[in-house]
Amino acid sequence: MGKIIAIANQKGGVGKTTSAINLAASLAALEYKTLVVDADPQANSTSGLGFNPKEIENSIYECMVDEIEVKDTIVETDTSFLYLLPSHIDLVGAEIEMVSLDSRETRMRESLTPLKEEYDFIIIDCSPSLGLITINALTAANSVIIPVQCEYYALEGLGKLLNTIKIIQSRLNTSLEIEGILLTMYDVRLRLSNQVVEEVSNHFQHMVFKTLIPRNIKLSESPSFGLPAIVHDAESKGALSYLNLAREILEKNGITI
């Protein structure tokens, strides 16, 4: 039975898409069949895995709004064991269209639950908002990873996200857990980065992943090639960090590598 992990933070620019693509690719490199669900209208996970969002015929949008068969929407990437449920710009309109639909908060769960038999991991890249699509993702997920960048306003808005997670746990998804807080864009040379790591670790303790994701040029440039960092440059610090994160998650879930 596969596990669905949402990567969420309503703050933009914290490394959600980078984490979704590279964590999924690292799990795939360890030969776990992994699906990336691009639940962001910006479709950055879709383009970051080598697909043109403008050429996508069916996406997560059609699965949720038009109830198209999700299996017909999934595409195979060039990376072994790695698959994509793509997004496109129409997802922007889904929030409005879904307001009048029955069971509007559980549409994504209905689409993804049958896939748990087929995939070891399903990683959802959420949009930078706490709108209906993100609520759908958190309702569908078994757990959530919260990326937090090692910068001055790191903890800004985190309380609001944790409050939203509590509401979803109480009303829509009682089994939702926090997989962990992931510190991203870490620069060992900056005192501020180290202060943020210390502050977040003191505040959230065991909830924080041991793995730190560094600022890394290969992580930044790999989406322009339509490749995960582990394919673009397997020896880069960024690629190795996400591989360590994948191993940490496997260990945390009692899965032997």
Q: What is the pLDDT of residue 92?
A: 75
The CA dihedral of 190, 195, 201, 202, to the nearest 10 degrees, is: 170
Query: pLDDT higher for 87 or 152?
Result: 87
Residue 135 parent element (H or E) = helix 132-140
CA distance 228 to 121: 17
Helix 132-140 vs helix 91-98: angle between axes, to the nearest 10 degrees? 90
Cα angle for residues 17, 176, 8 (degrees, 5° grid): 20
CA distances from 43 to 82, 100, 125, 250 (A): 17, 24, 9, 27
The phi, psi pair for 209, rounded to 5°, reads: -65, 145
The residue with greater pLDDT, 91 or 233, is: 233
- E-strand stretches of 111-249: 121-126, 143-149, 177-186, 208-214
Q: Choose the weakest-confidence range: 74-88, 96-110, 206-220.
A: 96-110
Percent of the chain with pLDDT over 90: 67
Q: How far is CA 51 from CA 54, 77, 240, in A?
A: 9, 9, 24
The radius of gyration computed from the CA coordinates of the chain, to the nearest angstrom, equals 17
Model-level pTM? 0.95
pLDDT at 139: 97
Q: What integer is the mean pLDDT of 196-221? A: 92
CA angle centred on 143, ends 139 and 149, rounded to 5°: 110
**Do residues 218 and 2 touch, judged by C-beta distance below 8 A?**
no
The C-alpha atoms of residue 116 and residue 113 are separated, in whole angstroms, by 6
Amino acid identity for residue 98 in this structure:
M
- pLDDT tens-digit profile of 18-40? 999 999 999 999 999 999 999 99
DSSP string, 183-211: EEEE-TT-HHHHHHHHHHHHHHGGGEEEE
Structure tokens at 10: 């309503």
pLDDT(256) > 80? no
Tell me the mean pLDDT in the region 216-231: 92
Q: Is the pLDDT of residue 257 over 70?
A: no
Instruction: Label each residue of 10-25 as H, E or C.
Output: CCCCCCHHHHHHHHHH
CB contact at 8 A, 128 and 136: no
| 3-state SS class at 71 | helix
